[in-house]
Amino acid sequence: MPHKHIKPASGKSGKSGTNGSGAGEPGRTVAEEGGSRKPRKASGPDATPGIVTVAPGRAFDLAAVDADADGGLDKAAAKQALIVERARIVSLQERLYAEGARSLLVVFQAIDTGGKDGTIRAVFEGVNPQGCRVWPFKVPSAEEAAHDFLWRYHAKTPGRGMIGVFNRSHYEDVLVVRVKNFVSEPVWRVRYGQINDFERMLAAEGTTILKFFLHISKDEQKQRLEARIATPEKHWKFDPADLVEREAWDAYQAAFADALTQCSTREAPWHVVPANRKWFRNLMVARTIADTLEAMDPRFPEAQPGVARMSVPE
């Protein structure tokens, strides 16, 4: 199917609205049609590679996305470019925090070993922790399980001026619970609409939402699990249950594809990132976040009247 190539932002941007509509569109390949489709590699030295944005209302074929894609980029150059994008994020985050009017929620989902932790470390390095919170969601506590499935996630959404990062998210409740049969199909299936309503409400209240699915291949997962077993310093990251989960690979891929299809909306589209190559993954995520913040165009608040004429007493 055809794809449209979007040029990166030029550095000029206008004030966005309060929702996440079109968040992070610059600098990526956008899948325009439904059905099977595969991202196109950059065709020239000036072309900007892209991640795949899931078109709302269209069936999405996750298997058609090449997890090994590198956009034709050079690894060393990409690592240098990441430094530039991080600096943009740091600067724009300060403005967002000072403005104190809107917020950014960044959601990461992936299969085990997909790179959620590593991406967060690489992309948010240097960001002021006063204005950014990272929330890893594990097995629900007894109190969390006693509430509706969205309760624990809503409590961690970013306040005005903040960036919130979800390491796993509310999508666990249409992914893991489905694959492991923790709840019946009628229960998890209705949650797609509830999630869309939840995200639509957040957007209406001033939160821009960026959702990243880090896409790795089955072979890549095998290599990463083997590395954890072979490296003593990585043993803490290895859980024998990961090997059991790997046996459900196909079931997880089907669940991911359905979640991407059902929950990519105008307010909160899904962005699928080819993630076998960590350096490419990190740059694409960082650039998308920086472009989104730039499009939000946060402003420093007006100074109090006469402050420029004030002097500090001896």
Q: What is the pLDDT of residues 79-105, one digit of tens each?
A: 999 999 999 999 999 999 999 999 999
Q: Which domain holds residue 123?
A: 3-299
Q: What is the pLDDT of residues 116-132, one digit of tens each?
A: 999 999 999 999 999 99
Question: Could you tell me if residue 118 is inside a domain?
Answer: yes
Looking at residue 216, what is its pLDDT?
98
Place of tokens 């960044």: 106
Q: How many Å apart are CA 197 and CA 5, to the nearest integer?
A: 30
Q: How many Å apart are CA 227 and CA 100, to the nearest integer?
A: 43
Q: Is the separation of the CB atoms in 271 and 210 below 8 Å?
A: yes
Question: Could you tell me if residue 266 is inside a domain?
Answer: yes
Residue 205 CA: distances (Å) to CA of 99, 201, 202: 15, 6, 5
Compute how many other C-beta atoms are within 10 angstroms of the C-beta atom of residue 135: 16
Looking at residue 5, what is its pLDDT?
30
What is the rounded average pLDDT of the residues 270-278? 98
Looking at residue 37, what is its pLDDT?
34
Q: Is the pLDDT of residue 258 over 90?
A: yes
The two tokens of residue 12 are 């000029």
Q: Is the pLDDT of residue 269 over 60?
A: yes
> Which helix (H) or strand (E) segment is 190 a member of?
helix 185-204
Question: Could you tell me if residue 313 is inside a domain?
Answer: no
What is the rounded average pLDDT of the residues 220-236? 95
Question: Could you tell me if residue 311 is inside a domain?
Answer: no
Q: Is the separation of the CB atoms in 173 and 188 below 8 Å?
A: yes
What is the rounded average pLDDT of the residues 150-162? 98
Looking at residue 305, what is its pLDDT?
87
110 closest CA partner among 285, 298, 292:
285
Lowest mean pLDDT among 37-41, 181-185, 209-213: 37-41
Question: Could you tell me if residue 308 is inside a domain?
Answer: no
Q: How many Å apart are CA 154 and CA 150, to the nearest integer?
A: 6
Burial of 116 (0-12, 13-18, 19+ CB in 10 A): buried
Q: Is the pLDDT of residue 21 over 80?
A: no
What is the rounded average pLDDT of the residues 242-262? 96
Q: How many Å apart are CA 311 and CA 296, to the nearest integer?
A: 34
Looking at residue 45, what is its pLDDT?
27
Question: Could you tell me if residue 88 is inside a domain?
Answer: yes
Q: Is the pLDDT of residue 291 over 60?
A: yes
What is the rounded average pLDDT of the residues 230-250? 93
Question: Could you tell me if residue 185 is inside a domain?
Answer: yes
Q: Is the pLDDT of residue 260 over 80?
A: yes
Q: Is the pLDDT of residue 74 over 50?
A: yes
Q: What is the pLDDT of residues 1-15, one digit of tens each?
A: 333 333 333 333 333
Give the three-state DSSP class for 215: strand
3-state SS of 85-123 is HHHHHHHHHHHHHHHCCCEEEEEEEECCCCCHHHHHHHH
Question: How many domains does the chain contain in total?
Answer: 1
Question: Residue 289 corresponds to which amino acid?
Answer: I
Q: Is the pLDDT of residue 46 over 50?
A: no
Q: How does residue 49 score in pLDDT terms, banded at 50, 70 and 90?
A: low
Q: How does residue 245 score in pLDDT terms, banded at 50, 70 and 90?
A: very high
Looking at residue 13, what is its pLDDT?
35
Question: Could you tell me if residue 309 is inside a domain?
Answer: no
Percent of the chain with pLDDT over 90: 78
Read off the CATH number of the domain in which 99 is found. 3.40.50.300
Looking at residue 112, what is its pLDDT?
95
210 DSSP 8-state letter: E
